[in-house]
Amino acid sequence: MPKSSIWNRELVEKYNIAGPRYTSYPTALQFNDDFGVEDFKKTLKTSNVGKPLSLYLHIPFCENICYYCACNKVITKDKSKADRYLVALVKEAEMIAPYVKGRKVTQIHWGGGTPTFLSNEQIEGLVNKLRELFEFDDDNGEFSIEIDPRSVDNKTMASLAHAGFNRLSMGVQDFNPEVQKAVNRIQPEEDTRHLLLQARRHGFDSINIDLIYGLPHQTVDSFNETIDKIITMAPDRLSVFNYAHLPHRFKPQRRINAYDLPSPQEKLRILESAIKKLTEAGYVYIGMDHFALPHDELTQAQEHGDLHRNFQGYTTHAECDLVGLGVSSISQVGNSYSQSMRGLDEYYERVEAGELAVWRGCYLEDDDLLRREVIMQLICHFKLDFSDIEKAFNINFKEYFADELESLVRFEEDGLLNLTDTGIQVNDAGRLLIRNICMAFDAYFKEVNIIPTYSKAI
């Protein structure tokens, strides 16, 4: 297909409204505190039927604050703050491990915050403890960690590789010095380039770099320079996120001068140019801000229909239950979602008292499971076969989703997708707007209520 065919400015402007990113369905807005510790234990018990596991560990600490950040984090330069947290994290893991005994861990992701806030010894010690509690699939496992290039050296890279990590994700956001100063994240290009080379030498299978468009002082030309530099580094994956300026929700963003942000029109031009450059350089647009080289597992999984999406983003491990460890972490187990306490004090209070830190969650009803499958098929593969859904859920698709199919007609008229008697095929122009297409199947989506909550589609 033509490399620029996914971009249509008129359609992007028409459909650029706020909406969910669908790392889950229902989204976290539907979580409630009626779902508690006993519910989580019940789902762990009933789902323990041999399916593999994915573990997510949240390390909330950061030494410095990045003004754009919307993550759940604790800003401190006091490294001793991690000591109590690691004790609690291990205790939480010890409480969960008996419920999942015998299940192989095929995926691990450490996020934050900044996982490399921990010392090399703390990271290796925590990994070793997790290996005692859970059965790692070392032959086929995908073990990834987010790193801060500003605080990682070759010794750390060697330590991470020795601990068993085989994938890295590093934040860059933008190499322009003026942009970096405006968001309080000074990170020289040379340091990032050197670190990526070290990661290659230590044998990491896949390296991801995060970029953000829409930051203060960004222009098409300045972001093009960053993209050009990234292309020469050749990371396996790239995430190009849309900066959502929501200072009423995220206090650090109040330090960003809104007048320094690119206009909506300039922001679209920045994204258009970035997509053009990346696709011309050989990157495949996976969807939802993500790009990957043709050899990468994400690209291969999408081609073979094996791609999946969860709270960690796109993944090749569709069959896993996801268990979250740490403050604010989210689990997806069986037909349920759950989230741990968001505040560190509340998390400590629960875990140190010998109880799991479940704060809220929800059970998925039959309709939720059905709609989740429809949305995940569309968002991962840009197509949907009605018969697959009908067989899996014992429904007549056209009757069950008559209203939803009617609402898709406007997308078809605009060339975003094709509706046939047997399914839905998202066209190239619809790939960037896949969130909008998925919203048609979201029973909870009410546009009037979500605008202050979600970022825009583009």
Look at strands 358-363 and 336-340 and give their pairing.
antiparallel
112 labelled ligand-binding? yes
Beta bridge partners of 144: 109, 167
CA distance 19 to 446: 9
69 labelled ligand-binding? yes
CA distance 76 to 67: 15
Beta bridge partners of 238: 209, 291
CA distance 445 to 457: 14
185 labelled ligand-binding? yes
Q: Which residue has the tokens 């604010």?
A: 328
- Determine the distance from the C-alpha atom of residue 424 to the mean position of all C-alpha atoms in its chain, rounded to a whole number: 25
339 labelled ligand-binding? no
Q: What are phi and psi of 43, to 5 degrees?
A: -70, -35
220-233 and 264-280 are packed helices; what angle lies between their axes, rounded to 10 degrees? Answer: 30
How far lies 55's CA from each of 71, 203, 435, in Å? 19, 22, 26
Q: Count of residues for the chain?
A: 458
Alpha-helical regions (H) of 68-207: 81-96, 120-133, 154-163, 177-182, 189-201
SS3 134: coil
371 labelled ligand-binding? no
330 labelled ligand-binding? yes
SS3 283: coil
Helix, strand and coil percent figures for the chain, each rounded to 5? 45, 20, 35
> What does the DSSP 8-state code read for residue 138?
T
Q: Which residue has the tokens 């990170």?
A: 187
66 labelled ligand-binding? yes
154-163 and 189-201 are packed helices; what angle lies between their axes, rounded to 10 degrees? Answer: 40
Residue 9, judged by CB atoms within 10 A of its CB (0-12, 13-18, 19+), counts as: exposed
173 labelled ligand-binding? yes
One-letter amino acid of 123: I
* Alpha-carbon Rg for the chain in angstroms: 22
Token duo for residue 236: 């396996």
Token duo for residue 304: 């073979």
111 labelled ligand-binding? no
Residues of the binding site for S-adenosyl-L-methionine: 56, 68-70, 112-114, 146, 173, 185, 210, 244, 330
Binding positions:
56, 62, 66, 68-70, 112-114, 146, 173, 185, 210, 244, 330
Annotated binding site for [4Fe-4S] cluster: 62, 66, 69
